[in-house]
A and B are shown apart, each in its own frame.
Chain A
Amino acid sequence: MQLTLWTYEGPPHVGAMRIASSMRGVHYVLHAPQGDTYADLLFTMIERQDKRPPVTYTTFQARDLGGDTAALVTATVADAYERFRPQAMLVGESCTAELIQDQPGTLALGMKLPVPVVPLELPAYSKKENWGASETLYQLVRTLLAEQIPAPGVVRPARPAGRKSRANLLGATVLGFRCRDDVTEIRRLLDQLGIDVHVVAPLGASPDDLRRLPEADFNIDLYPEVSRATAVWLQRSFGMPYSTTVPMGLGGTRDFIAEVARLAEVDPAPVLAREKPGLAALGGSQARMQWYARSVDSTYLTGKRVFIFGDATHAVAAARIASEEMGFTVVGLGTYGREFARPLREAAKQYGVEPLITDDYLEVEQAISAATPELVLGTQMERHIAKRLGIACAVISAPIHVQDVPARYSPVYGFEGANVLFDSWVHPLVMGLEEHLLHMFRGDFEFHDEARASHLPEVALHAPAAIDGGAAPDQARVAAPAAPAPGRPGVSASAGVLAPGTPAWSADGELELKKIPFFVRAKARRNTERYAHERGLTTITVETLYDAKAHFGR
């Protein structure tokens, strides 16, 4: 048994629903009790889909359990087929139905429907949503392509001369992070390279589209959490190579271009040549981010401490961007997806941080609190953590909420994606010039200590107190529950909590600390206390404050 307050991923059948809802002509019959239909609202409310998910639930009840729940399955499958006439059906079960072992998939196969039926076995007590999505796509593709698999030893015919190279884009789904716009952006990029997009799947694909997958020359594995298993199988069964570079950030996009150009046998040089520093000002580059990061107003971004958590694909790519393209310092890197923990571990090693592989929300909160970052790049879960701690935050990965499905075009992949990321990571931070102004005018009444940056929400007011608490996360955690403070999360949670043995501030030291602008005061307080603590000092004076300042720099 595992105590969970919040969960990053839903159960695996929700992953299967993501595949079904992303596609056309697929219907999913789910053997499940009343209540499991809650998952529909993820699609209609968060993703704002204008149709119900193509899912029919059997809605069995306690009184059915002694009777014939199997008959309920076959009746539901028959009804759903009659009503929706899909080109292919997925049949599976949710957690409770798994326990009663009706094997709905097998039952549905036995019905000899005139369309392919894919039985789904998604173990609800050991697997989660992304795995469920991956497995569903894989099983569906396998079933639909079963008859086309060439015999062993048959060599894949070469691309006819004169035909452009074709790629499939795999892995985009609804409820993924910005998939809709990423697909458009990558299409645009491939178009510039002279590569045709053959099939995009599962997003917008029909079963017939999946049958055409092998007609492409190679696959682009855009979201490995969802499509790696399928890409690997297509390579094994059809000899189709697949790309592994995630086209996120400038470096990621350049590497991606190089990789797909090699797979497609085209020349990447014309596209890459345009993306050189300095060209942005002349309008030659699509990646303004490159120039913006070099522009002097970005100087203040140097060394900003950033904590990154999400699915492994987005987290690893974000770490590279943060470090190489924004000049941040990565102080934490983690993922909730154990299936892709390995690449994340390697990346963490590169940035000299301990990889955080967990789906325990409280553990993530504790790690963030302890790392005292200035910016959190995470999921909607981290957005809540950051809000409570008063730290700036941008969302970079699923799980998403309604604001992560913007109306405007906002990919995170490709060159435009890099631009979008620059904007969305910089905006939550105090702007560089504003930092100077605040410092200069802090004696003025508009800029008194409690005045906050005009563009930040109310919660920023409490940031210093919250970050103070971060110095002693264990104590903060014990103290927190006593004060749930509805509506004002995090305010009372950590104020005034000091670890035992923390040196006390003298009156003059405290007064001097107040002269430091509030947005760096928490850091100054933390550093000074650490400095004093390490030296066994019991009182912090003005001198201790400046000694610490000299010791830590900036």
Chain B
Amino acid sequence: MSAIALGQAPAKRASAIDIPILRERGQREVFCGLTGIVWLHRRMQDAFFLVVGSRTCAHLIQSAAGVMIFAEPRFGTAILTDRDLAGMADANSELDRICVSLLERRPDISTLFLVGSCPSEVIKLDLAKAAERLNSRLFPRIRVLNYSGSGIETTFTQGEDNALKCMVPAMPVTSEKQLLVIGCVADVVEDQFQRCFAQLGLGPVRFFPARRAADLPAVGPHTLLLPAQPFNGETVRALTARGARVLSAPYPFGAAGTTAWLAAAAAAWDISEERFAAVTGPLAARAEKALARYRAQLSGRRLFMMPDSQLEIPLARFLHRELGMQLVEVGTPYLDRLMVSAELPLLPAGTALSEGQHLDRQLDRVRSARPDLTVCGLGLANPLEAEGLATKWSIELVFTPIHGFDQAGDLAEIFARPLQRRERLLA
């Protein structure tokens, strides 16, 4: 097992939870919750995401996704026009018309998500009512759900949280003892974890969301939740309200992080320490080996994380503890203490944490600190590079498999690559 046992942080470190946090307000250079559709629709291949919004919404998803691989993607935008706003067209019947014609073309769709946006929220278009109306026509062949991905209410990864949360009421009840892993992970990661849980003799284990939206896992009083992503706090609360219990653990990033995450589940199933070590030891050792290559490149380097995907705190912990990076500032769009309670104590004392954003002021801090690596959004990366600062664009962290032992090296490489590249290129 790893030398750095995250699961057993010394009790006195719990005071790190009280590290002062710089709260800022101003321009935010962060995507809105609609962006989550890009990976949610890849994970749930029988789902369609229909944003009810404006041309801006459509343009955002298209630009954030970067590539247009599919002729008819499983997401789209019902663009509000002047006619809808002026009340000349009944927005509700328009929406029904679009949904029905859309679903006629797509017999492969079993779940339709109506996704609220800034404009639909502001004009108070009731998508819950719309979903109800459509369900009365389409259910059980198709389930229609609704959630908000609007920028006035959600930041980037909160879109996933809202999407998952809206599925919770539809989940069946179970009294079986089971482990429910919360949050979108890559299929390959799910398979790896399932193998690992099976070797530990722990189960049944279900993933939420599943690969098909229609395969809703059940939930009940003996369901133990193991969040794989730090941004699904509302979903976890909704599941807790249905009787489930949360296992508090660091997130499965890096060798030590993954070990600690699995240990939380193993403890709940009373798996012996020997067995746990026998199963995870070799996996952790392999991950360690992969990490060692990057430690030399990253150790001692100074890291600045702009707020973006909400993964900042767990990743900062990983980069500091397992790769020896120094944390200049760790920004997060918002701080959900429930979701990072096992992470905060693992950050070094005195870590500069910031919540929210005032972009210009934060960039001033980046410029004065001149970190070795800045993790930021795509809008900022090239401008900072032009100022001589190495950057890593954060969206890669939600598009790439980064969880678990066998992705630990890949995750480290994501941060090492920009530094390596700068070394290769002659000045």
Contact = CB atoms under 8 A, between A and B. Distances in A.
A4 B77 CA distance: 5
B102 interface: yes
A2 B79 contact: yes
A385 B106 CA distance: 19
B105 A60 contact: no
Contact of A35 (B55, B91, B118): B118
Nearest to B153: A62
Interface in B10-55: 26-35, 42, 45, 52-55
Interface string A465-509: 000000000000110111010110110010000000000000000
A59 B107 contact: no
Contact of B122 (A2, A48, A52, A65): A65
Interface stretch (B163-171, B214-222, B377-385): B377-385
Nearest to A46: B63
A65 B80 CA distance: 20
Given A34-B28, A99-B123, A4 B72 contact: no
A13 B55 CA distance: 11
Contact of A6 (B56, B68, B379): B68
A3 B98 contact: yes
Contact of B82 (A49, A125, A365, A380): A125
Nearest to A481: B106
Interface in B109-125: 118-119, 121-123
A95 interface: yes
B56 A94 contact: yes
Interface stretch (A36-44, A219-227, A244-252, A273-281): A36-44
B243 interface: no
A29 to B, nearest CB: 10
B395 to A, nearest CB: 9
B185 to A, nearest CB: 17
Interface string B53-93: 11110111011100011111111111111101100010100
Nearest to B118: A96
Nearest to A476: B71
B396 interface: no
A481 B109 CA distance: 9
Given A35-B34, A61-B153, A10 B122 contact: no
B56 A40 contact: no
Contact of B54 (A3, A11, A37): A11
Contacts of B53: 95
A94 B121 CA distance: 15
A128 interface: yes
A298 B62 CA distance: 38
Contacts of A50: 382-383, 385-386
B16 to A, nearest CB: 29
Contacts of A62: 121, 150, 152-153
The bracket for how many chain A residues form the interface is 35 or more
A137 to B, nearest CB: 20
B108 interface: yes
A464 B31 CA distance: 41
Contact of B55 (A48, A128, A489): A128
A384 interface: yes
A96 B70 contact: no
B151 interface: yes
Given A37-B28, A124-B55, A4 B76 contact: yes
Contacts of A43: 379
A2 B81 contact: yes
Interface centre among B121, B360, B379 (most CB of A within 10 A): B379
Interface centre among B73, B381, B383 (most CB of A within 10 A): B383
A95 B54 contact: yes
Nearest to B148: A62
Contacts of A481: 72, 105-108
B95 interface: yes
B155 interface: yes
B64 A1 contact: no
A39 B386 contact: no
A6 B122 contact: no
B152 A61 contact: yes
A65 B152 CA distance: 9
Contact of A14 (B59, B77, B78): B59
A56 interface: yes
B273 interface: no
A487 B72 contact: no
Contacts of A48: 382
A6 B72 CA distance: 9
B336 interface: no
A1 B78 contact: yes
A59 B379 contact: no
Given A2-B78, A5-B72, A126-B81, A33 B150 contact: yes
Contacts of B85: 99, 125
Contact of A1 (B29, B59, B89, B105): B89
Contacts of B381: 44-45
A132 B55 CA distance: 13
Given A4-B77, A62-B153, A482-B107, A11 B72 contact: no
A13 B33 CA distance: 20
A381 to B, nearest CB: 7
A286 to B, nearest CB: 34
B72 A480 contact: yes
Interface centre among A3, A38, A83 (most CB of B within 10 A): A38
A381 B71 contact: no
B318 to A, nearest CB: 26
A96 B122 contact: yes
A18 interface: no
Nearest to B333: A34
Interface of A: 1-7, 9-11, 13-14, 33-45, 48-53, 56-62, 65, 76, 79, 83, 94-96, 99-100, 123-126, 128, 362, 365, 380-381, 384-385, 388, 477-478, 480-482, 484, 486-487, 489-490, 493
What 8 A-B pairs come out closest when comparing CB atoms?
A35-B32, A35-B151, A40-B379, A50-B386, A96-B118, A41-B378, A95-B54, A33-B151
Interface of B: 26-35, 42, 45, 52-56, 58-60, 62-64, 68-82, 84-85, 89, 91, 94-95, 97-98, 101-102, 105-108, 118-119, 121-123, 150-153, 155, 360, 377-383, 385-386
11 contacts: A1-B94, A1-B98, A10-B55, A40-B29, A41-B377, A45-B379, A50-B383, A52-B379, A62-B152, A124-B56, A490-B71
